[in-house]
Amino acid sequence: MRNRIPYRWVVAIVLFVAYSIQYLDRVKSSVLTPAIAQDIGLTTADIGTGAFLMLLFYGPAQYISGLLTDRFGAKKILLFSVVAWSVMTAWMGMIQSRDEYLLRMAMFGFLVGTEYVPSARILMRWFNKQGRARAQALLSWAWILTPAWASVFATHLAQVSGDWRLVFYVTAACGVLPLALIGLMVFDRPEQYPKITPDELDHAYRDEIEEGVIKKGEYGDARNTILRSNAITFVQFFRNPSYVAVVFVDIVMQVTLYGALTWIPLYLSDVFHFKLQTMGWWSSLYFLAGAVGSFTSSYLSDRVFHGNRRIMIMTCFIGLAPFVFLLATLQTADPVLLAVALCGMGFFGNMAWGPFLAVPAEIFTPEVYGKAMGFVNGAGYFVAAFSAKIFGALVVVTAAGKDYSNGWYFIGVCVLLGIVAASFIRPRLQREGGIQGRPAPARA
């Protein structure tokens, strides 16, 4: 039994699988956009507006779900999220008009914006600083790796069936799986798992034990003990330069991610005239490379740089910029350059997820991660909503076709700003000096 997989990794894998299934909807909606637009008469502006509405409502939902998670527990919020996702996915298969499409995108954003923060909050408690970036990287594979296979699955099923609506009905039924997995196998805190071992409890609370916040073996009231030692108000979040920097880093990451999700399929279809299934295969290059980049950087952040998150976050943006600008200059379907641009964007563009998502728990404490990360993600998605509108407005439509170059240049400039924001992240220094500049508690 000593060689069994630690249950924290079982929890992480279950959350990854559950989130991957929930992320299917956004992938399908993106790669099937050309077919959906033709069927119900959507313009490029309508598609940009749909992405804008989804992200606009998704942002506030992140913060609200963070507050609810810290108050009522992550598991309850996750179960609600899965049910809402299934209903919204099935509805997408029924839409008949532009107005219904826009209404559905807005409601989808608000109701399904409840899946990430609870998942991340659970991981922050089950893992200590030596494993958090890798756990978050595994969770990030849900939105990085899922598009790699879901793009091919969705376009193939739509082509074989001749009906894009069937894809949404089939995947809506898949919601039963995450509902069962979360209900049976996920626990908010390690001490709630009936078969938890002392070693796993010691691992989960190692950081607090070393800081003298709690004593080894005394985990019965760990949450309240930690909160009493690390009491923090919402305003105090913004007195920490690293936290403010994380907010801006998240904005750039969301702008980049949703730029890729929303516009790469249309870019490949409109500029290079790829057919639906071919476009799905090419789109998958970005996400396959992204999965490799995400886990590589998180491993280095945890094991090589020992929790110094800034190094890999800055590497992400510095490496990403050249490939975004390369994609902006491509006007012909040069297979080699297109593959280089998509793989380079995917690899570097997803390197920061694991490291920066772990930062709020290390600046403050996992016990306030819900509202801390909820605001970060809320701000990120809110700005990303407007970036979708900006990108759509920058697409030049002529008699000869569409030119997406200005849109990619816009994302490139955002990436350069991300380099500046990342330079201010110093979570380990803040933590060593105590929370929010207060002296660290005396060690037991």
pLDDT digits (tens, 9 = 90+) for 278-328: 776 787 788 889 889 998 999 999 889 888 899 999 999 999 999 999 999
For residue 300, the number of C-alpha atoms closer than 13 Å in the C-beta half-sphere is 16
Tokens of 266: 């249309």
Kindly give the interhelix angle for 276-299 and 7-31, rounded to the nearest 10 degrees. 150
**In sequence order, what are the beta bridge partners of 398?**
401
pLDDT at 431 over 80: no
Instruction: Give the pLDDT of residue 386.
Output: 81
**pLDDT number for residue 215:** 87
- Contact call for residues 101 and 50 (beta carbons, < 8 A): yes
d(CA 378, CA 207): 27
Average the pLDDT over each of 150-159, 193-202, 250-259, 408-417 and give the range with the smallest value: 150-159
pLDDT (tens digit, 9 = 90+) per residue, 234-243?
888 999 999 9
- Please give the model's pTM, rounded to 2 decimal places: 0.79
**Nearest Cα residue to 388 out of 26, 35, 80:** 26
Domain ranges of the chain: 7-435
Residue 38 identity (one-letter amino acid): Q
Supply the CATH classification number for the domain 7-435.
Answer: 1.20.1250.20
Residue 428: what pLDDT?
52
| Mean pLDDT for the chain overall | 86
Q: Which two tokens stand for residue 351?
A: 């390197």
Q: What is the mean pLDDT of residues 379-407?
A: 84
Which of 119, 96, 273 is CA-nearest to residue 187? 119
